[in-house]
Amino acid sequence: MKTMMQMLRDLTPLNRAVCAHGYDETIAYLLNVLPFEVISFPASTEHNGWVIPPSWDVVEASISKDGKLVYDGMIHPVGVIGLSSEFSGTVSLEELQKHLHYDHRDPDSIPFHYRQFFRSWQRDWGFCLPKRVYDELTPGDYDVVIRTEEAPGDLKVLEYVHRGTSPYTILLGGNLDHAGVANDGLAGCVVGIEVLRRLAGRKTRLSYSLHLSPGIVGPEFYLGKMDPSARKQILEGYFLEMLGSDTKIAVQESRNPLATVAHALKSSLDKLGLTYRTGAFETVIVNDEYIFENYGIPMVSFSRFPYPQYHSHFDTAETMREDRLEEAVSALMGAIDILESSPIVSKRFSGNICLSNPKYDLYMDYGQVALGDSLTEHKRKMRHLMDIIPALDRPISVRALADHMGLPEPDVLAYLLRWAEKGLIELS
């Protein structure tokens, strides 16, 4: 069985562009790791303005001057800008520099230029190179060659599902593209694979799915083309990214403050004694989690962002640490244990129930100051719990509700059982 580190070493060097031979090689490789389903979307399909780019591979890329090679664009998969158009000709230094991109953080780094994958209708040719090479260019004419192979390319998404007894699913997502780099995307993918492998043979209440795809366009097509009734079964999720570097763990919250997965992950990290930082939605990182959120699926980002090699060719398998990957797996397995241990609350009514009516008898009266009643903190919180139940727009775990309210879980469960007895909610 291939380890997480072995998968990183094997797959990092490939040209895992959105549609490319290297991406197809990656899929073939991973089909031997887990029995994924490959979900394909036809070439050039458009959804919400997003267009599937063509299959694209660089065959030849070089810059020469006076018959001598100045820069080999094949030195690394990011040596040519993503989805570069073909070009062959002689240009001046001034013209050449318009098509060169370097990393402003490090003179020896080659940056990752990816934007054209999302704008395939507006393409240019270009190279990514170290700034020290850029600075050494002298006036004169340069011979430039960029030769590519292009064809219609299908967008491919990998999905693997561990079925539980509940119809609700917790989704783990990761970016499988990002040619030639290890931590940005791929490290999260191998962590997700390892979690699903460890769930094999285990009976669970919830279902757990692993979704691996090219960034942004992958989940957009996956969710946008999905039957709405099936999409509603995706309860919440974790977006896994950049989990192999020797940097601090970051848990970015969902837009939904009641997200069950956030409470579970932070509780697991606390139990393991792992230090981490938290941030509100889009304050730590902006990635595919916003796609899921915009389809109504709360998505917590689990990462080690930022890290020094981000978006550069220095993001290699050699910079990854196996113990850091293992920490991430352990934290997720602990979160799953927590998710499995607490019932899920599903509302079965709309509007506002008259809870003081004897047929329900669920009203939490915390008293009136003017009448001399003692307003305890526990009473106030229980009243808040009563008020929030009619506002629940998605299923949530009892544990998450208790944590959010600052109440003991047994007290919350006892009150919710009374709602369930009246048929107003379901506990599963």
Read off the pLDDT of each residue in 76-93 and give the average, rounded to a whole number: 98
- Taking only the tens place, the pLDDT of each residue in 210-251 is 999 999 999 999 999 999 999 999 999 999 999 999 999 999
All residues at 6 or more sequence positions from 356 whose CB lies less than 8 Å from its CB, including other chains? 363
For the cut 90, the answer to whether the pLDDT of residue 375 exceeds it is: no
The partner residues of 57 in beta bridges, in order of sequence, read 149
pLDDT at position 104 is 97
Mean pLDDT of 76-90: 98
Going by pLDDT thresholds of 50, 70 and 90, the confidence category of residue 53 is very high
Kindly state the average pLDDT of the residues 25-53. Answer: 96
**pLDDT for 376:** 85
What's the DSSP call for residue 80? B
**Is residue 194 exposed (0-12), middle (13-18) or buried (19+ Cβ within 10 Å)?**
buried
In this predicted model, what pLDDT tens digit does every residue of 312-348 receive, in sequence order? 999 999 999 999 999 999 999 999 999 999 999 999 9
DSSP conformation class of 376: -
Task: Give, in degrees to the nearest 5, the angle at Cα 74 between 216 and 66.
Answer: 135
Q: Is the pLDDT reported for residue 114 higher than 90?
A: yes
* 94: three-class secondary structure by DSSP: helix
User: What is the predicted pLDDT for the residue at 371?
Assistant: 57
- pLDDT of 372 > 70? The answer is no
pLDDT exceeds 70 at position 364: yes
- CATH class assigned to 4-51+154-341: alpha beta
Distance CA 382, CA 97 (A): 65
Q: Beta-carbon neighbour count of residue 347 at 10 Å? A: 17
Q: What is the Cα–Cα distance from 74 to 197, expressed in whole angstroms?
A: 36
The pLDDT mean for the chain works out to: 96
Domain-wise residue ranges, the chain: 4-51+154-341, 55-150, 344-427
Which pLDDT score, from 0 to 100, does residue 365 have? 85
Amino acid code (one letter) for 269: L
Q: 321 is written with which tokens?
A: 């640490």
Q: DSSP for 295-363, please give it.
A: TT--EEEEE----TTTTBTT--GGG--HHHHHHHHHHHHHHHHHHHHSPEEEE---S---TTSTTT---
- CB 243: neighbour CB atoms within 10 A? 31
Distances (CA, A) of 71 to 145, 197, 370, 379: 11, 43, 81, 71
Structure tokens at 269: 């990290």
Residue 276 clears pLDDT 70, i.e. is over it = yes
Q: What is the pLDDT of residues 176-188, one digit of tens each?
A: 999 999 999 999 9
Fold classification of 55-150 is Glucose Oxidase; domain 1 (3.50.30)
Residue 370 has pLDDT above 90, yes or no: no
CA distances from 157 to 19, 40, 141, 237 (A): 11, 6, 44, 17
pLDDT on residue 63: 98
With DSSP H G I counted as helix, E B as strand and the rest as coil, what are the percentages for the chain, rounded to 5? 35, 25, 45
pLDDT for residue 134: 98
pLDDT-derived band at 167 (thresholds 50, 70, 90) equals confident
118 CB neighbour count, 10 Å cutoff? 16
Token pair of 70 as six digits: 């100045």
Average of per-residue pLDDT across 272-282:
98
For residue 92, the surrounding DSSP H or E stretch is: strand 87-92
**Rounded Cα gap, residues 264 and 205, in angstroms:** 15
257 in Cβ contact with 404 (< 8 Å) = yes
Contact, 131 vs 102, CB < 8 A? yes
14: which 2 tokens? 């490939």
Query: β-strands 276-279, 344-347: how paired?
Result: unpaired
Share of the chain above pLDDT 90, in %: 94
| pLDDT above 70: residue 373 | no
The contacts of residue 41 (CB under 8 Å, 6+ apart) are: 52, 154, 155, 156, 157, 221, 225
With tokens 């780019």, the residue in question is: 53
Question: Per residue in 91-106, pLDDT tens?
Answer: 999 999 999 999 999 9
Asked if residues 342 and 139 have their Cβ atoms less than 8 Å apart, the reply is no
CA distance 144 to 54: 23
Minimum mean pLDDT among 173-177, 227-231, 277-281, 377-381: which range? Answer: 377-381
- Cβ neighbours of 377 (radius 10 Å): 10
Q: Which amino acid is at 364?
A: M
